[in-house]
Amino acid sequence: MPVDMVLGTRFFNCIPKVLSGPVLASKINKRFCHTTFSLKPNHSPYAQHPMVNDALPHQIITGALIVKPNVAQFTKDGVQFDDGSTVNNLDAVIFCTGYDMRFPYLEIEEEVVLKNEVKLYKYVFPPSLKKPTLAVIGNIQPLGAVNPISELQARLACRVFGRKVQLPSQEDMEMDISRKREAMKKRYYDTKRHTVQVDFITYCDELAEMIGCKPNLTKLFLSDLPLALKCFFGPCTPPQYRLMGPGSWVGAKKAIEKAHNNVIYATKTRDTKQPSSSSAITVAMIVAIILAMIVITCLVN
């Protein structure tokens, strides 16, 4: 299962990061032991944007890729590392420096981004404009997929342009930008890469709340318990933001219910008999109901 289907849930998102961090690190290391390959960082998994590459462990194990320390200096035809080791007769050196964010086609470029730090309310709207006539879509780096977020950003932009949603004052928007920037600096290690980081569910809910389409879990728990459990314990998929409010979709519930099967459908290339698991399902449902009651109590209080 893709990791965002397993960990990208509202339930996991509610767990404090001081508790979920070790769980996430353990899950990552079960797939690829970073200590074994001398790649274990000195910070939490939440302190940097992850790099996902299924081919990397195999390349290291087979010797096709050798992990080295930081570069100390370049020589005439090679490189010396800070542990004193050298590699000579190099064919090429590739600088993986990333990118600088630029909007050279905008007259107000420095009011949108400066030194890789964006100055956008909710990472979408420049607060300096007298009228909200510009929206930047997709200029974020989430712990999850970009497209569902871009869709919500576009929905919000359309409602702002249509005067169905009123943005806060310039002062309030700039304060929100500053708060997010400071929170990001406290959480992530210092690098030009970590300037547009967002947590998938938290950020989606922020946008959805402004649109008016954030799922009301309390209402769902009382009206449709099975659906509420899927929304809370299952993956947070885009149809959750089509259940209610502007842009609601009659097929959203069915799409949420089929999310798991849709993911594994491509792997089912032949029919096989599945073992009966009725007892396990019963136990799981009882546990889920108890947890749901706890969640409802927390939401009400």
* pLDDT reported for residue 280: 58
* pLDDT reported for residue 42: 84
Question: Is the distance from CB of 291 to CB of 225 less than 8 angstroms?
Answer: no
Burial of 120 (0-12, 13-18, 19+ CB in 10 A): buried
Question: Is the distance from CB of 160 to CB of 135 less than 8 angstroms?
Answer: yes
pLDDT digit of tens for each residue in the chain (301 aa)? 777 788 889 998 998 888 888 888 888 888 888 888 888 888 888 888 888 788 888 888 888 988 888 899 999 899 999 998 999 999 999 988 888 888 888 888 888 888 888 899 999 999 999 999 999 999 999 988 899 999 999 999 999 999 999 999 999 999 999 999 999 889 888 887 788 889 999 999 999 999 999 999 999 999 999 999 999 999 999 999 999 999 999 999 999 999 988 888 888 888 777 666 555 566 677 777 777 676 666 665 5
User: Which of 167, 177, 179 has the alpha carbon at shortest distance from 130?
Assistant: 167
Specify whether the backbone of 161 is left (phi greater than 0), alpha (psi in -120 to 50) or beta: alpha
User: Which of 222, 196, 8 has the alpha carbon at shortest distance from 112?
Assistant: 196
Distance CA 299, CA 301 (A): 5
* pLDDT reported for residue 282: 64
Q: From residue 216, give the alpha-carbon distance in Å to each of 11, 40, 71.
A: 15, 40, 52
* pLDDT reported for residue 278: 54
Strand, helix or coil at 71? Answer: strand
* pLDDT reported for residue 188: 87
Spans of all domains in the chain: 3-66, 70-96, 108-211
Torsion angle, CA of 152/156/161/165, rounded to 10 degrees?
Answer: 170
For 125, which DSSP code? B
